[in-house]
Amino acid sequence: VEDSCNFIISNGGAQTYHLKASSEVERQRWVTALELAKAKAVKMLAESDESGDEESVSQTDKTELQNTLRTLSSKVEDLSTCNDLIAKHGTALQRSLSELETLKLPAESNEKIKQINERATLFRITSNAMINVSVLPPPLRFCLCRKEKRSGMLK
C-alpha cells in the first residue's frame, strides 16, 4: 500500500520490495536517489557500449561495486529473514486472537491475554528490525542500478 511514506520498488521480475520511509522527506530522498542511480546507470551503459572499452573501469570502481553488491545482498537477505519472521509471528498472533474470542472462563482469559501480549511484543520487535534493515546508508542509495549493469565486469 503506497501512501506518503510507503513505496514499492520492483526489479521488473519476480522481486518486489515494499519500503517505508520515516517521513515524506525521507521517501522523496529515496525516490530521487533511485531515479538518479537509474539515470546514471543508463548513461554509463550507453558510454560503455559506445566505447566498447570495458577496461576503462578502474580497480577502485570495481572494488566499490563489489563492496556495494555484498552489502546489498546482505540487506536483501536480512529483509527476507525478517519478512519470514513477521509472517510466522503474525500467524501465531492471529491464532491467539482467534482463540481468545472463544474463551469463556476468566482464568483462561488471563493466560491467553498474557500469551497474546508476548506474541505482540515479538511481532513488534521483528517489525522494527525489518524497518531498521530496510534503511540503506546514503552511499548505497546512489549505486542501486549501477551495480547490476556492471556486475558482469567484476567476474
- Using the predicted structure, report yes or no on whether residue 152 has a pLDDT greater than 50: no
C-alpha cell at position 31? 525516490
- Are residues 30 and 68 located together in one domain of the fold? no
Cα 83 versus chain centre, distance? 9
Tell me what the mean pLDDT of segment 15-29 comes to.
Answer: 81
Q: What pLDDT, on a 0 to 100 scale, did the predictor assign at position 123?
A: 84
Please provide the average confidence, as pLDDT, over all residues in the chain. Answer: 73
**What distance in Å separates the CA atoms of residue 77 and residue 79, rounded to the nearest whole number?**
5
- Three-class SS of residue 45? helix
Same domain, 118 and 72: yes
Domain total for the chain? 2
Q: At residue 68, what is the residue type?
A: T
Interaxial angle between packed helices 59-102 and 106-134, expressed in degrees from 0 to 180 and rounded to the nearest 10 = 170
pLDDT at 136 (0 to 100)? 52
Total-model pTM: 0.43
Same domain, 139 and 108: yes
**Co-location of 102 and 138 in the same domain:** yes
Q: Which pLDDT belongs to residue 147?
A: 42
Whether 44 and 64 map to the same domain: the answer is: no
- The type of residue at 146 is R
Q: Are residues 85 and 142 in the same domain?
A: yes
Query: Which residue range forms the structural domain that includes residue 26?
Result: 6-49
pLDDT in tens, 77-110: 787 788 788 888 888 887 887 787 777 767 777 7
Residues 6+ apart with CB under 8 A from 4: 24, 27
| pLDDT tens figures, 35-81 | 888 788 888 877 776 665 555 567 788 888 888 888 887 877 787 78
My answer on whether 81 and 147 are in the same domain is yes
Indicate if 45 and 67 belong to the same structural domain: no
Query: 120 and 65, same structural domain?
Result: yes
Say whether both 26 and 63 belong to one domain.
no
Residue 134 pLDDT grade (very low, low, confident, very high; cuts 50, 70, 90): low
Would you say residue 128 has pLDDT above 60? yes
* Residue 54 resides in a domain: no
**11 and 70 in a common domain:** no
Going by the DSSP 8-state scheme, the letter that residue 52 receives in this structure is: -
